[in-house]
Structure 1
Amino acid sequence: MNDIAVTNDIALTEFVAATAAKFDMPGISVGIWVDGREIIANHGVTSTENPVPVTEHTIFSIGSTSKTFTATALMRLVAEGKVDLAAPVRTYVPELRLLDEEHAAAITVQQVLNHTAGLEWNIINNTGEGEDGLAAFVASLAELPLIGKPGERASYSQAGFNLLGRVIENVTGQPFEQVIVETVLEPVGLHESFYFQGDIMTRRFSAGHERQADGTLEVCRSWKGTRANNPGGGLGTTVSDLLRWGRFHLGDGRTESGETLLPAALLHRMQQPTVTLRASALADAFGLCWMLRDVDGVRTVGHGGSVFGQFTEFQLVPERNFAIAIVSNASPDGVPANQAILRWALEHYLGVVDRDPEPLPFDADRVAELLGGYEIDAMTATFLVEDGNLFLECKVKPEIRAAAPESEIPQDHPPFPVGLLPDDEYIITAGSFQGQRGFLSRNDRGEIIGLDLAGRLFTRSA
């Protein structure tokens, strides 16, 4: 695999360029592994302020795609008998405290890995860049809202994966980042992947961009989150390394040198469904970290990411030995740009077609029942009607925006048009999150009490 030829595909190059123009992306890098070869297409620049050409060796901040590295390191500890997926998290993090003592004692390692631990999305705080950052973050989880009993439902949690980083630290006695480097990055040969900005700033890297109210793009002054968010979203890497990472997870757990990094059974177990998801654009099911979708009869395995104006789409099709990595550097349209390239590639190279479901006609009675506000710790989501059409308005809470530098908080989007689907499900029909699906939760009396959006439970406001 060290001698893999990198080739170009004129059709891919042209489609990436057209997509960048359509969505006004400063830079995009795409890598595809298909038919035993790598195909690369790059377009644009790393930054509008310091325009350096994007290549497959440009480092992007990949946000939540980082979770796949954390999960793999954890599974190595499982293989070594140092972690039991069925064990309570407190077996390895005895200092864990949550709002409910029984909840804290009950959640298992696997429930955190597959987002069924009943933890809210995250706590927005800064516990510093020292080696005690994760420990301090875990101490702050005593304030984290809980959204359900352990194992009751899936709800995507950044805080949960940062907690897993502390599991890794306590079990190994080493800082999280050192463990990932020594047990994952170096063995797999990922030499363009880093957690610390000091390691990144001397290399070619992308800056994120945020579209302003007047339509112009402004460079984001923040590049990644705090150190405590490294397990859930702190890695910087390249398309070249992501393709190597994809080939590893398409394989049998051995590295290019023949070393068994992870037994094949555990590697493949990560890609098996553990909990199904309803009406989610993220996935049909969660594996152990991985998001699993059936697209046109073919199973895909992947994990996207976003942070400070940079967006990643990373997908595998194991039965076809196919991998694709897409990174782009402007918000909010990095999401639809990446999705357009992903869908084109699946159809162009595999003949796999990914389509959104058609919404039902407007139903005034159904709409009236769901109108109003929903919230998580950092955001509100409001269903409203304008001119006979249903919209979903998502906003960062004012207190969160006020507490952080403006450059660190994305601009709020205009309200998204929404169509209803059968069985309390909905789909966003236009805008930067077109195709995003979700559903409404009801209590035993049939009353709507929550909104599932992007895999997270927003509870209905009082």
Structure 2
Amino acid sequence: MADLVPLRAQLADILAAQSTATGVAGAVIGVAVGGDQFSLAHGTANLNTGQEFTTDTGWLLGSVTKLLTTTALLRLVDAGAVDLDAPVRQYLPEFALADTDAAEVITVRMLLNHTNGIDADDLMPAAVRGRDATRSYVAELPDFGCLFEPGTGLHYSNPGFVLAARIIEERTGLPYERAIQTELFDPCGMRDATAVQTQAFLRPTAIGARACDEAGSLRATSLFSLPESAAGAGATPIVTVADMLTFGRMHLAGGLAPTGRRVLSDELAAAMLTPTFDLGLPSAPPIGLGWWLDPLAGTTAAWHGGGSPGGASSFCIVPEHDAVVVTFVSGPNVLLNDTLHTTVIEYLTGHQVDVPFAGVPADTDPAIAGEYAAFHVDKSISVLDGNLLVRTAVPFYDEELESVLDAYGMPRASSVTYVPVAPGLFRPEGADPRTTTGFYGRLGLLADLPSVPGRPRGIHTGLRFVPRIS
């Protein structure tokens, strides 16, 4: 078993070098390898109060919640209450899309592996809270279509996991916040985890931080969490390091919790780690059920990341080394998560995490120039001297969504130049190629995807597919 003392010291040095000047208000990491574990915290958890970030401080998990939702839903599969390959409408007759044919064929499995294609990425209804919040989200989906025929592509799917949460609600008779407690937190032994936002008042809880006008300074976010309607996709759950190490150990043990209680069958725990779809892109790893399966340093790390207002989580298990790593960073320095994770993975494997592309890039295909669009995003691509100039605009949808996303910090427009690094693959100009070695860094690559039956030509970046429209 690896000696974790030098690793702990290495990680402590990385954290000690962080400050508001590096885009970090506070951060925490937990590492478990075999029967050994440790955690470290740094900085401030709440810039409003000066509260210290400690190893038992809770934080918003963000989209890492999708692993929780997947596990809870698969417990219902184990119980015979849900069939992964049944149409979603078998459990949610009210589920509808503007593309009626797609709504008929989307299966439960397609919700959990992001292949449903539902074009509603940023949808965040905020008007309804409590028991009917998830239902209110599903009620808006008839206004949205699909980016490709279900099962033919990969597009990061917040609506897919809201639908998964709604199935959990229907099959358990409980609202999501209670169902995730009874179906996962309690049986797994995640003692401090909660999906009830008001619990943040009763325990130390981190608040996200954002950049401000004064150089080297940060300010607390004005938005604590995203709307409750997206709870199952990652809006509301709050966890601690201990909770996530427990959850990760359960998955490494084939569904058996550290308490000895079986949470998930061996078969379904293994199915979560088995590739179900692969675009073959460095920027989009194979997907299992819930888990993204990243090849790193000669091993495979099962990973998920998650954003919250002013913060970002990263969580992985490395089955070959019986390891769990979880991090949270308050502040805009999302890539600190990658630095911490890759430091652990390189220590365990004895290999460097390499840049995920090699060779001499081919000439840029001029046919990539054009207009691309999906819900709440328009992209215009020009080819200049072999590079791509990508202009992105976020069109107005409604005041409710704009208010949420403004508070979240989503820019309304941007312009980025990309340089070719491999045939059909581009990275942002000026970015250190080493930043693409980690989980989050790879998502910044942009790929040119040709059309295939059921899926039009488009680009793929940030795990999202944006089809060409002209």
Selected match of 1:456 from 447, 454, 464: 464
- Paired with 2:81 and 2:263, the residues of 1 have a C-alpha distance of 15
Alignment of 1:2-401 (within 5 A): 9-20=8-19, 23-120=22-119, 121-212=121-212, 215=215, 216-234=217-235, 235-281=237-283, 283-331=284-332, 333-334=333-334, 336-357=335-356, 366=364, 368-384=366-382, 390-399=388-397
Q: Deviations over 1:106-146 (max 9, x none)?
A: 11111111111121224232241131111121111101231
What displacement does 1:36 show? Answer: 2.2
Q: How much does 1:251 deviate? A: 0.7
Q: Scaled by the length of structure 2, what TM-score is found?
A: 0.88
Ranges in structure 1 where 5+ consecutive residues have no aligned partner: none
**Residue deviations 1:164-218 (CA, integer Å, cap 9, x gap):** 1111111122212211101110111112212122111221111111224554422
Q: Tell me, what secondary structure is at the counterpart of 2:31? A: strand
Q: Distance in 2 between matches of 1:6 and 1:29?
A: 17
Deviation at 1:39, TM superposition (A): 2.0
Counterparts of 1:443 and 1:347 in 2: how far apart (Å)? 37
**Percent identity, aligned pairs only?**
26
Partner Cα separation in structure 2 for residue 450 and residue 54 of structure 1 = 42
Residues 50 and 374 of structure 1, relative CA distance in 2, 3 Å threshold: farther
For residues 395 and 192 of structure 1, the distance between their equivalents in structure 2, rounded to whole angstroms, comes to: 40
The CA deviation string for residues 302-330 of structure 1, in whole angstroms up to 9 with x for no partner, is 11101211101101100110110010011
Confirm or deny: 8 A CA contact 2:357 2:422 kept in the other structure.
no
Is the Cα–Cα contact under 8 Å of residues 119 and 144 in structure 1 kept in the other structure?
yes
Helix, strand or coil at the partner of 2:81:
coil
Out of 452-461 and 175-184, give the one that drifted further.
452-461
Distance in 2, Cα, partners of 1:412 & 1:136: 26
Distance 1:380 1:213, change over 3 A: farther
CA distance in 1, matches of 2:331, 2:384: 29
- Matches of 2:256 and 2:34 in 1, distance apart? 20
Q: In the TM superposition, what is the alpha-carbon distance from 1:386 to its structure 2 partner? A: 7.4
CA distance in structure 2 between the aligned counterparts of 1:398 and 1:236, rounded to whole angstroms: 31
Say if 2:282 and 2:356, in contact at 8 Å, map to a contact too. no
> CA offsets, 1:287-344, max 9 Å, x none?
011110111321111111012111011011001101100100112x22x111111112
Secondary structure (helix, strand or coil) at the match of 2:13 reads helix
Paired residues of 2:387 and 2:420 also in contact (CA < 8 A): no
Q: Following the alignment from structure 1 to structure 2, what is the Cα–Cα distance between the partners of residues 163 and 256?
A: 30
- CA 1:443 to 1:154, structure 2 compared with 1: closer, same or farther past 3 Å? closer
Contact kept? 2:83, 2:108, Cα under 8 Å: yes
Structure 1 range deviating more: 213-222 or 231-240: 213-222
TM-score (norm 1): 0.90
Q: C-alpha distance in 2, partners of 1:391/1:351? A: 38
Give distance in 2, aligned partners of 1:413 and 1:11. Answer: 39
Q: 1:52-82: CA deviations, max 9, x gaps?
A: 1111211111110001111001100000000
Post-superposition offset of 1:21: 6.7
The verdict on how the C-alpha distance between 1:397 and 1:309 changes in structure 2, with shifts beyond 3 A counting, is farther
Q: Is the 8 A contact 1:210 1:217 kept in 2?
A: yes
Q: CA deviation at 1:229?
A: 0.5
Task: Give the alignment's Cα RMSD to 1 decimal.
Answer: 2.8
* Paired amino acid for 2:157: S
Q: Aligned to 1:288, what secondary structure does the other structure show?
A: coil
Maintained 8 Å contact 1:362/1:419 = no
**d(CA) in 2 for partners of 1:367, 1:210:** 38
Counterpart Cα distance in 1 of 2:384 and 2:390: 11
Q: Is the CA contact (8 Å cut-off) linking 2:99 and 2:144 kept in structure 1?
A: no
One-letter identity of the residue aligned with 1:245: F
Q: Which moved more, 1:235-244 or 1:429-438?
A: 429-438
State the Cα distance separating 1:8 from its structure 2 match: 8.5
Could you tell me which residue of structure 2 aligns to residue 439 of structure 1? 447
For the 8 Å contact 1:277–1:286, the answer to whether it is kept is: no
Displacement after TM superposition at 1:269 (Å): 1.1
* Post-superposition CA distance 1:228-249 (Å, at most 9, x none): 1010012111122111111111
Over 3 Å counting, the alpha-carbon distance change for 1:304 and 1:87 in structure 2 is same
Q: For the residues of structure 1 that align with 2:230 and 2:106, how far apart are their CA atoms?
A: 20
Change (3 A) 1:357 1:173: closer
Residue pair 1:28, 1:328 contacting (<8 A) in 2 also = yes
Alignment partners' CA distance in 2, 1:400 and 1:209? 26
The one-character-per-residue Cα deviations of 1:376-396 (angstroms, maximum 9, x if unpaired) are 322334445679854444444
| Contact 2:386 2:419 (C-alpha < 8 Å) held by counterparts | no
Residue 237 of structure 1 aligns with an amino acid whose one-letter code is: V
For 2:191, the aligned partner's letter is H
Deviation at 1:357, TM superposition (A): 4.0
Taking the aligned partners of 1:376 and 1:206, their CA distance within structure 2 comes to 33
